[in-house]
Amino acid sequence: GPRVTPSVLADMKHAGRPIVMVTAYDYPGALAAEKAGVDVVLVGDSAAMTVLGHPDTNQVTVDEMLMLTAAVRRGLQGPMLIGDLPYGSYEESDQLAVATARRFVDEAGCDAVKLEGGGPTSVSRARAVIGAGIPVMGHVGLTPQSAAELGGFRAQGTTAAGARRVADEALALQAAGCFSIVFEAIPAALSEAVMPQMGAVVVGIGAGGAVDGQVLVFHDLLGLSSGGSARFVKRYAELGKQTVDALRDYAADVRKRAYPGPEHCYRIKAEELATFLA
Ligand code: KIV
Ligand code: NA
């Protein structure tokens, strides 16, 4: 079908049709998301951990994100492609935010960008990028780029004051014109309380079922990530284990000369070989 746009997502929200979003970081991941029929693909700065091996999201650079995002673009037709502005690439000024967002559109083919936080700085950056004609997805609750200030990787909005803050940030991002907002790791009851005020499309991750859609990290849902995972992760496969098993089988075959078999070998005509050997 045609490319998913912000207005397609708004229509889905109003029709009560849940929106499916997943991250991807490379061409095969994009092809899989496309074939599975997801609505939105985010090249998350979670790439820092999932594919680049860093301990947190804040190590990944704009250039690295652009390389990964361009690869995803080459595998994607229908779903909306969102680029995640990494730590340090937009906070300093509205001008920097616009310039970085433009690179994600011009150099990597993004349909929209995502940035974190709903405080005055993030709201100003979102407004500036939207003013430059680039749709922005906001992100509130547990925002990994500022996890240190939030007291680590823990649910947000779990006190009255915390809940007020998450709600106010979501409303401020919405007022700035964000077409969509991610709610991450907040109580399901807080999402439920805020949703009646949300005209923007809300995509949740650890935010319960009252939101307009869900997002999960590719490597988490496929069982490809190492280490412990958050409460909200549901594993739909164990590809990490399958991958190691396959590599072990391959190694064993090579070591006992069971691979390659005759069916994996190329042939030369007998007369050609005889001439060569002569
Ligand atoms: O980087 C990421 O993967 C994200 C999603 C979890 C929303 O920001
Ligand atoms: Na992110």
Clarify whether residues 225 and 246 are in a common domain: no
Active site residues: 184
Give the tens place of pLDDT for each residue, 58-113.
999 999 999 999 999 999 999 999 999 999 999 999 999 999 999 999 999 999 99
User: Which pLDDT score, from 0 to 100, does residue 2 have?
Assistant: 83
pLDDT in tens, 189-211: 999 999 999 999 999 999 999 99
Cβ of residue 187 lying under 6 Å from some atom of ligand 1? no
Q: ipTM, 2 decimals?
A: 0.99
Instruction: Looking at the structure, tell me whether residues 225 and 247 fall in a common domain.
Output: no
**b/e code 140-167 from CB counts within 10 Å (16+ = b):** bbbbbbeeeebeeeebbbeeeebbebbb
> How far is residue 141 CA from its own chain's centroid?
16
Q: How far, in Å, are 75, 103, 112, 134, 205 from residue 109 at the CA level?
A: 11, 9, 9, 12, 25
E strand or H helix at 239? helix 239-255
Averaged pLDDT for residues 7-28? 98
The verdict on the CB of residue 182 being under 6 Å from ligand 1 is yes
Q: How far is the CA of 45 from the centre of ligand 1 (A)?
A: 6
Tell the burial category of 269 from Cβ atoms under 10 Å away from its Cβ (0-12, 13-18, 19+). Answer: exposed
On whether the pTM is more than 0.95, the answer is yes
The pLDDT score that the predictor gives to residue 216 is: 98
160 lies in some domain: yes
pLDDT at residue 1, as a whole number? 64
46 marked as binding residue: yes
What is the 86 CA–ligand 2 centroid distance (Å)? 7
Mutate to test the pocket of ligand 1, among 60, 142, 184, 234 (most ligand atoms within 8 A of CB): 184
Nearest CA to ligand 1 atom 1: 44
227 in the same domain as 162: yes
> What does the pLDDT average to over 157-168?
98
pLDDT tens digits, residue range 29-44? 999 999 999 999 999 9
CATH of the domain at 124: 3.20.20.60
For helices 62-75 and 27-36, give the axis angle rounded to 10 degrees: 50
Judge if 90 and 227 occupy the same domain: yes
Same-domain pairing of 264 and 166: no
Query: Which range of residues forms the domain containing residue 59?
Result: 6-237
User: Within this chain, do residues 86 and 172 fall inside the same structural domain, yes or no?
Assistant: yes
116 is an annotated ligand-binding site residue: yes
pLDDT of residue 226: 77
- Between residues 228 and 119, the one the model is more confident about: 119
What integer pLDDT is reported at residue 37 of this predicted model?
A: 98
Is the domain of 35 the same as that of 159? Answer: yes
Q: How many domains does the chain have?
A: 2
R_g (Cα) of the chain, nearest Å: 22
Q: What is the mean pLDDT of the chain?
A: 97
What's the pLDDT score for residue 228?
72
In a shared domain, residues 86 and 159: yes
Which atom belonging to ligand 1 lies closest to the Cα atom of 182?
7
Shared domain check, 229 and 213: yes
Residue with more model confidence, 200 or 2: 200
Confidence class of residue 229 from pLDDT cuts 50, 70 and 90? confident
Quick check: is 223 in a domain?
yes
Query: Residue 84, annotated ligand binder?
Result: yes
Please tell me the distance between residue 14's alpha carbon and the centre of ligand 1 in angstroms. 24
Same domain, 264 and 232: no
* Residue 1 placed within a domain: no
* Span from the CA of 133 to the centroid of ligand 1 (angstroms): 23
Candidate from 103-117, 209-223, 227-241 with smallest mean pLDDT: 227-241
Pairing relationship of beta strands 112-114 and 80-84 according to DSSP bridges: parallel
Q: Residue of the nearest CA to atom 4 in ligand 1?
A: 44
Owner of token pair 């069982």? 223
Helix axes 160-175, 120-131, angle to 10 degrees: 20
89 is an annotated ligand-binding site residue = no
Would 128 be classed as within a structural domain? yes
